[in-house]
Amino acid sequence: MSYEDYAVVMKGIVKRFPSVLANDHVDLFVKKGEIHAIVGENGAGKSTLMNQLYGLLKPDEGEIYIFGKKVDLKGPKDAIANGIGMVHQHFMLVDNLTVAENVVLGSETTKSGFLFDLNEARKKVKELSEKYGLLVDVDAKIEDIPVGMQQRVEILKTLYRGAEILIFDEPTAVLTPQETEELFDVMRRLKEAGKTMIFISHKLNEVMEISDNITVMRLGKVTANLKTSETNEVEIARAMVGREVVLRIEKPPHKPKEVVFETEDLWVKDNRGLDAVKGVSLKVRAGEIVGIAGVAGNGQTELVEAITGLRKIEKGKITLLGQDATGYDPRRLRDMGVAHIPEDRLKHGLIVQYPAYYNMILGQQWWYPYSNRGFLNHQVIYETTKKLFEEYDVRPRDINMFGGNFSGGNQQKLVVAREINAKPKFMVVAQPTRGLDVGAIEFIHKTLLKMREQDVAILLISMELEEIFSLSDRILVMYEGEIMGEVRPEETTVEEVGLMMAGKKLEEVRS
């Protein structure tokens, strides 16, 4: 059989890891010049498959054909030589080097053999960047440029090495909606230029927007090959999780009770010392979810940090359970019943080099029975962790595994389990589903609604409008540190909230 028309053919790929069969006879066919999406939940085997295509892993069984020619990829070098380039999810960039230096690193332009020719490098990178519309500042250091531009540098790196096939590993996970649109424009331009692209994602709307064909994976196997124009999100989601998923969750009516948490005219500064939160006043009642919508970087992070005791409050007042709690440190707030699901679980939610059982009691380690007269009671800690692992279905069920070694979805489950186990009265939940797959998102949403029924007061901060709409009882929109207005999800529209997110006050929108 000839694979002439295909840029990539992977046939019967099997890859075993000590504890799991990551790829179980996977077939992948990618046509020349198409954008081919691979979707699947975390742990479905997408990244493993791509790492084999990029030569980072060697398949145990199976064959790989590039442009119809059988190849044996021993490392990234072989993959690059075969015209394959990879845009990694975690950028592989050297922070203190410039854009041009990063692009050419490893295949440098030289003068008389060993001298690095920076001018030639700059020229070449500029040419490439203009050719494909990948706007970059060649002389800027990586550490000084925004994430979107860093990603373009990654793309340039592959193009500089002559890539014809580009693998994008969850490229939009780190991007703002605007940056995502820019990326899609770039991808369309690359397609026009005849490049083939493989797009790994679990954001179904993005897959629908950009791809030509879709391969769905689940638990190491291919469960569907779909043509984008002939399918829909529900069908993809079903193939991903093996059952019907409620994309929009049912929210039962529930009557909120007394006010648990309140801020009055809260002012907070950001790391640069500029005002980030400018006079925010809000109330959260028991059994109520208050959603804060807004584009990232409009003071939400600083607001959350101020509320949870991580950042200094410049002015204003916080009242918790009827008590003035302004300026309390996180420990005191936690003792009073505040729980926090942070937006960056790796930075603030977990200690990646601690085993799961310690991560499961972080912030509660001085509470009885975890600790007794200053000594940790490990038996209780192990048992609690085991119990919570079952209850929240954290996988694998290995309480000795380091926090950093769990998949994103399971890390988040761990954090959620811990925070809920603290039996909070008030929960601050920031970006609870960032980077999670459909199944995990559903689980987290259901859990939050259950907390609401148990009369916990919840403040939800999210960039995902859909999440805000489906979970919140009231929605506050934040723009440049101020609240633009308060609406109820059943009485507003996405357009109205969108206008407030762009800086229009509710009165202006409705007038």
Partner 1 sequence: MKVLEALLSIFINPQFYKIALTASTPLIFASLGGVFSEITGVTNIALEGIMLLGAFTSIVFTFYTGSAWFGILMAVLVGIGFSWLHAWASIKWLGNQIVVGTALILIAQGITGFLMKPIFGRPGQTDFIGRINDISIPGLRNVPFLGEAIGEINPLVIIAFVSVFVSWFIIYKTTLGLRMRSVGENPEAADTLGINVYKIRYFGVLMSGVLASLGGAFLSVGETGNFKELMSGGRGFIALAAMILGNWNPIGAMLASLLFGASEAYANLLQSSKLIEVPASVKPLFNMVPFIVTLIVISGFIGKTRPPAADGVPYEKAE
Q: Give yes or no for residue 147 binding partner 1 (CB under 8 A).
A: no
Question: Rounded to whole angstroms, how far apart are CA atoms 301 and 86?
Answer: 32
Q: Give yes or no for residue 376 binding partner 1 (CB under 8 A).
A: no
- Nearest distance from C-beta of residue 77 to partner 1, angstroms: 5
DSSP 337-394: TEEEE-S-IIIII--TTSBHHHHTTTT-TTSTTTEETTEE-HHHHHHHHHHHHHHHT-
Q: Give yes or no for residue 2 binding partner 1 (CB under 8 A).
A: no
Q: Give yes or no for residue 169 binding partner 1 (CB under 8 A).
A: no
Question: Rounded to whole angstroms, how far apart are CA atoms 351 and 177?
Answer: 29
| DSSP reduced 3-state for 189 | helix
Nearer to partner 1, 81 or 380 (CB): 81
Site for partner 1 in 423-452 (CB under 8 A): none
Nearer to partner 1, 80 or 277 (CB): 80
Question: Given candidates 41, 101, 305, 437, which one binds partner 1 under the rule CB under 8 A?
Answer: 101
Q: Give yes or no for residue 162 binding partner 1 (CB under 8 A).
A: no
Q: Residue 485 forms beta bridges with which residues?
A: 477
Nearer to partner 1, 57 or 293 (CB): 57
Nearer to partner 1, 17 or 366 (CB): 17
Site string for partner 1, 61-100 (x = CB under 8 A): --------------xxx--x-----x-x--xxxxxxx---
Tokens representing 427 are: 């929960």
- Nearest distance from C-beta of residue 55 to partner 1, angstroms: 10
Question: Given candidates 116, 184, 267, 382, which one binds partner 1 under the rule CB under 8 A?
Answer: 116
- Mark the segment that binds partner 1 (CB under 8 A) among 7-15, 111-119, 328-336, 480-488: 111-119
Q: What b/e string do you get for 269-279 counting C-beta neighbours within 10 Å, with b at 16 or more?
A: bbeeeebbbbe
| DSSP reduced 3-state for 10 | strand
Question: Rounded to whole angstroms, how far apart are CA atoms 101 and 121?
Answer: 7
Q: What b/e string do you get for 377-389 counting C-beta neighbours within 10 Å, with b at 16 or more?
A: beeebbebbeebb
Tokens representing 31 are: 């046509």
- Nearest distance from C-beta of residue 115 to partner 1, angstroms: 6
- Residue 443's CB is within 10 A of a number of other CB atoms, namely 18
Question: Given candidates 14, 20, 105, 465, which one binds partner 1 under the rule CB under 8 A?
Answer: 105
Q: Give yes or no for residue 502 binding partner 1 (CB under 8 A).
A: no
| DSSP reduced 3-state for 66 | strand
Q: Give yes or no for residue 351 binding partner 1 (CB under 8 A).
A: no
Which residues lie near partner 1 (CB under 8 A)? 56, 75-77, 80, 86, 88, 91-97, 101, 105-108, 110, 114-116, 157
